Structure 1
Amino acid sequence: MKIGFIGLGNVGGKLSGSLLRNGADLVVHDLDPALVAGFVGRGAAAGGSPAEMMRNCDAVITCLPSPAASDAVMQEMLPEIGPGKIWMEMSTTDEAEVKRLGALVIERGGAAVDCPVSGGCHRADTGNISIYAGCDRATFERILPLLTIMGRRVLHTGDLGTASVLKVMTNYLATGHLLMLCEALTTMKAAGMDMATTYEAIRISSGNSFVHETESQLILSGSRCVDFTMDLVLKDIGLFQEIAERNGVPLELSPMLIDLMRDGQARYGTRAQSDRMIERLEEATGLDVTADGFPTVLVDDEPEEPGYEVKLKG
């Protein structure tokens, strides 16, 4: 298959890098010509416009910062979509929007997949990230070889749109634990606990999480740079809140998370790194919640391995 990849940012650049590193026939597009030039220098082809990419490729992957960006790209690609063409949306987006755009693809004879990723940019860089895929089973089996290049664990979530629902849910949970960890770490600092000991106490306990093992290290090192900004967090947790409202679930914690993240934006900037939320508590207490020995950049130390489909229990 000839693969087109549109969107070479923090996540897209790493996912497309895995395809290129593993020998995929790859063409790329981004609004930043320097990013395209970098990929061309490594062996990819410049794809031209989104319309040209859909015309010349078997599958086109989009990994973009907003539903509006995906819509704009789709409007360019639509005239070139026909039987055999596949659109793969790897952005974190709204279920209703991916279904709307996917219906436009399907009515022209193409196939549509929402396949967002989860696990952090450092794992996207090594092909060890997890991928959800929402589509019919026949389409899933066509694209599984591509997904197992970009990710380690691949879960077929059901029909188009289901992957986006689950992805938004996981980002909501990650945001909740980030904010709880900010409170926990600051409280332990105020109580006179050693921060390295505190980190390990959480890591080996029932309070552990993926967020702790990654983002707590960046908080404690003082880096606070997880390559995920507050505007993206607010987009994702806002989408989760919308899902709850559409389904009549009266959430209580979700609105609080949204208010806290909005306060972080007001203090540090719309696109401030999400881990800077710890600084709200540092400012309130006068404490410095850092420690020696923690990394300033996350690196995935697991070797790259072939991906596989995750099978459901039962």
Structure 2
Amino acid sequence: MKVGFIGLGNVGGKLAGSLLRNGFDLTVLDQKPEVLARFAARGAKTADTAAALMRDCDTVITCLPSPAASAAVMDEMLAEVGPGKIWLEMSTTDEAEIRRLAALVEAKGGTAVDCPVSGGCHRADTGNISIFAGCERATFERVLPLLTRMGRRVLHTGPVGSASTLKVMTNYLATANLLTCCEALVTMKAAGMDLATTYEAMKISSGTSFVHETESQLILNGSRDVSFTMDLILKDLGLFQTIAERNDVPLELSPMVIDIMKDGQERYGLRANTDDIIRRLEEATGLSILAEGFPAELIDDEPEEQGYEVFPPGRAPAQAAE
């Protein structure tokens, strides 16, 4: 399988790196020439245009910052889509937009899959990230060998659009959890608690979470460099809120989360790291939320292994294949 990859940013570059590391015939495209040069030095081919990439590859993967960016790239590629071609959309995008673009691909005889990832850049770097995949079951089985080289746990979520719907939900949950971790850490500091002890109490308790065990460490170190920015999370939060509004769900917390992150963006910059949001509470209280012994960056210490499909409770592999 000849694979093309468009978008070599914080996540896309690491996913593409996993394919290269695992011996795939890989051609890449990015707006930054220096990024392309680094991949070429590692053995990847490079393309001049998205259309050429689709023409020369069996499968093309996109991992881009916005639905508009994905639509623009698809406009370039569509003339080269034909029977047997597969488009994997790994961007976090709007489920209605992915269905629109998928219909265009399918009208040309190609196949579309929305397969966003979840788990952080550090896990994307080691091939241990989780991947959702929305498509027909037969298509899923065709692309599974590819997905299990980029990710550890792969979930078939249903038809095209279902993976993107679930992905923005997970980013909403992660952001809401980040805000509660910030409030917990600042409140414990104000109450005179040692922050390293507070971190461990949260970690071993019912209050723990993936966000706490990763991002709280970066907050306490002071680097707060989670490789994810406020403009991107506000895009994802907006997509989640849109899903709720389309389905007449009167959310209460979601609008508050959006308002808090917008305020953080206004204070600290369009592309400030999401973990900088704790500065709002630091400034309001005059407290410094720092502790010794925490890392400046997240490193995945789980060894890279062959990925595998995961199944919802009560669904055996034979049932999923039906």
Match of 2:175? 175
Match of 2:318? none
Q: Does 1:102 align with 2:102?
A: yes
Name the CA distance, whole Å, in 2 between partners of 1:222 and 1:231.
Answer: 21
The 5 Å alignment of 1:40-79 reads: 40-79=40-79
What amino acid is the match of 2:5?
F
Identical aligned residues as a percent: 75
Match of 1:292? 292
Match of 2:132? 132
Q: Secondary structure at the match of 1:272?
A: coil
TM-score by length of 1: 1.00
Match of 2:7? 7
Aligned-pair distance for 1:188?
Answer: 0.2
Aligned-pair distance for 1:47?
Answer: 1.8
- Residue ranges of structure 1 left out of the alignment (5+ in a row): none
Write out per-residue CA displacement over residues 106-162 of structure 1, whole angstroms, 9 at most, x where no aligned residue: 011100000000000000000000000000011101100000000000000000000
Match of 2:248? 248
- Residue ranges of structure 2 left out of the alignment (5+ in a row): 315-322
What amino acid is the match of 2:152?
R
Match of 1:84? 84
Aligned-pair distance for 1:44?
Answer: 0.3
Give the root-mean-square deviation of aligned CA atoms.
0.4
Match of 2:35? 35
Aligned-pair distance for 1:184?
Answer: 0.4
Q: Secondary structure at the match of 1:88?
A: strand
Match of 2:320? none
Name the CA distance, whole Å, in 1 between partners of 2:262 and 2:311.
Answer: 38
Q: Secondary structure at the match of 1:197?
A: helix
Q: Secondary structure at the match of 1:27?
A: strand
Match of 2:192? 192
What amino acid is the match of 1:3?
V
Write out per-residue CA displacement over residues 234-279 of structure 1, whole angstroms, 9 at most, x where no aligned residue: 0001100000000000000000000000000110001100000010
Match of 1:202? 202
Name the CA distance, whole Å, in 2 between partners of 1:309 and 1:288.
Answer: 43
Match of 2:227? 227
What amino acid is the match of 1:87?
W
Name the CA distance, whole Å, in 1 between partners of 2:283 and 2:94.
Answer: 35
TM-score by length of 2: 0.97
Name the CA distance, whole Å, in 1 between partners of 2:73 and 2:298.
Answer: 31
Match of 2:319? none
Write out per-residue CA displacement over residues 52-106 of structure 1, whole angstroms, 9 at most, x where no aligned residue: 0000000000000001110110000000000000000000000000000010000
Name the CA distance, whole Å, in 2 between partners of 1:199 and 1:263.
Answer: 26
Name the CA distance, whole Å, in 1 between partners of 2:313 and 2:216.
Answer: 31
Q: Does 1:278 align with 2:278?
A: yes
Match of 1:157? 157
Aligned-pair distance for 1:313?
Answer: 1.5
Name the CA distance, whole Å, in 1 between partners of 2:70 and 2:33.
Answer: 19
Runs (4 or more) in structure 1 with deviation over 2 Å come to none
Name the CA distance, whole Å, in 2 between partners of 1:192 and 1:26.
Answer: 54
Name the CA distance, whole Å, in 1 between partners of 2:91 and 2:63.
Answer: 5
Match of 1:262? 262
Name the CA distance, whole Å, in 1 between partners of 2:73 and 2:92.
Answer: 15
Name the CA distance, whole Å, in 2 between partners of 1:261 and 1:115.
Answer: 26
